[in-house]
Structure formats: structure tokens, C-alpha cells
Amino acid sequence: MKSHKNEIWKEHPFLTRKGIDLIRLYTPARISIGLNRYGSYKDYGEDIWRIGYGSKKLGKSYVSAFDKASLEQINAQLENDLKEFSDLVSKYIFIPLNRNRKAAVLSFAHSIGITSFKSCRLLGLLNNHESKNTIIREWCPYINTLWRSGGDGLIDRRRTELNLYYAPDKEIPTFIPHKCKTSKCLLNLVESYNGNPNQIKAIEYLERCLCKWDPTGRNLRRFFQMWSEKPKSLGSPKN
């Protein structure tokens, strides 16, 4: 089976495999007619037909009342839909994001819709480089009561998105070149990172020191493992 772990869409740089999988996880396919086939449907209050994950099209044609599709077809259509949607989302993000953060933001935007996303408070907080605690208070379903009205499914989705947004990633976009020296880039720990050259220099100095102190990277990996541990991480109902 082909691995999609490092799949990249050059024409749609905001799209990631993690983002697609996260959206698919919290957007169940409808309406199953058996044998991995799906029929078209209408959402309440709408006049248009949809299929699978809410797609309005199947291939190049708009969905009709008599359309049916296989699981492979609706998965392919979801990816095509998200290519266009990710391009829309990227127009409103003015800060560099790594792959984990792109996936989390894409899922959040897909959940509330592009119209609500472009005017939501969270988008403003992200673009203004607000502190980690401020973003948590807005995104966390156990702090922001707005998300609780969506039921357990939405609560779990917000928790997953928040955890993913702050999960460490080796690929950190920078405005100037940064050749990371460690297995986990320390820019993951800089809440207010904005591409300032002095920040990059400080991080690279610290990475060189860590490589001398911990050449195997064992302690650093253990640190990141504990730092992003789910039971004690952002969005945990116990915290």
C-alpha cells in the first residue's frame, strides 16, 4: 500500500494529508446504500444535492438526485473539494504555519465554513501572533463554552485540532534560512516566533549546545514526547 505520509500538493501548499484525514474523521460520509456505495442526498433547508462528505460535485458534474458513487470516488472528490477550500483558507492566514498547524486550521475552517472563518476571533488571534494561553482559551472546548453546544463530536474535534496545532513538527517555515540541528526543531517552543533573524540565531545556538550535551537526541525526544502528551495536553478535560 502506498504511503501518503509525505504527500505534498505544490499547487495547494496549505493542503496536507493530515488535514484531509482529520476532516474525514469528523465528517462522516453519507448516505450509505451498502457495498461501499453512497447515494446523493439533500441537507435540511437546501435545494442542492450532495454526496459522500457533502460534495456538490462528482467529477466535473454537479450531483443529481440519481447519482451513486463508490467509497473511492467520494474520497477522491473530498480531496478535490479540499484543494479549492484550502486555497480559500490560505488567503486569510498571514503567518507561516507548519504542516500540523495547517491541518488543524483547515479542519477548524472546514467545520465552521469559510464565511464564518474569515471573520472569526480565532483567525485574528493567530494572525496577530497572540500568546499560547490566549489561543487556548479561544480554541479549547473545555474553556470556550461556545464549542460545547455542538455536542461530544464537536468537543472532540476542537480538542484534537488544538492538540495538533501545538504538536511539534520538524518542518517550521521561516522567513530566513534555518538549518535545524536537532531531531525536533526548537522553534516549536517559541510562542511568539515571527521570523526575526535574532530568534533564529538564538535557536540555532541552543540547538548546537543541545547536540553537544545530548548527541543521541534521546533526552530531547523524551522532552517533546512529554510536552505533547495527550492526557496532560491542551484541551484535556482534567486541565
* Three-class secondary structure of residue 87 per DSSP: helix
What's the confidence (pLDDT) of residue 78?
A: 96
Compute the distance between CA of residue 116 and CA of residue 224 in angstroms, rounded to an integer: 34
pLDDT mean over 196-211? 83
pTM of this prediction?
Answer: 0.76
- CA angle centred on 157, ends 156 and 160, rounded to 5°: 85
| 69: three-class secondary structure by DSSP | strand
Lookup result for grid cell 543521541: 216
Q: What is the mean pLDDT of the chain?
A: 85
Q: Give residue-wise pLDDT tens across range 78-133.
A: 999 999 999 999 999 998 888 899 999 999 999 999 999 999 999 999 999 888 88
In terms of pLDDT, which residue wins out, 6 or 73?
A: 73
Walk me through the domains of the chain, giving residue ranges and CATH numbers.
17-127 (1.10.530.40)
Q: Classify the C-alpha dihedral 32-34-39-42 as positive or negative.
A: negative
Taking residues 226-233, report their average pLDDT: 55
Flag whether pLDDT at 39 surpasses 80. yes
CB–CB of 31/50 below 8 Å?
Answer: no
Place of cell 443529481: 64
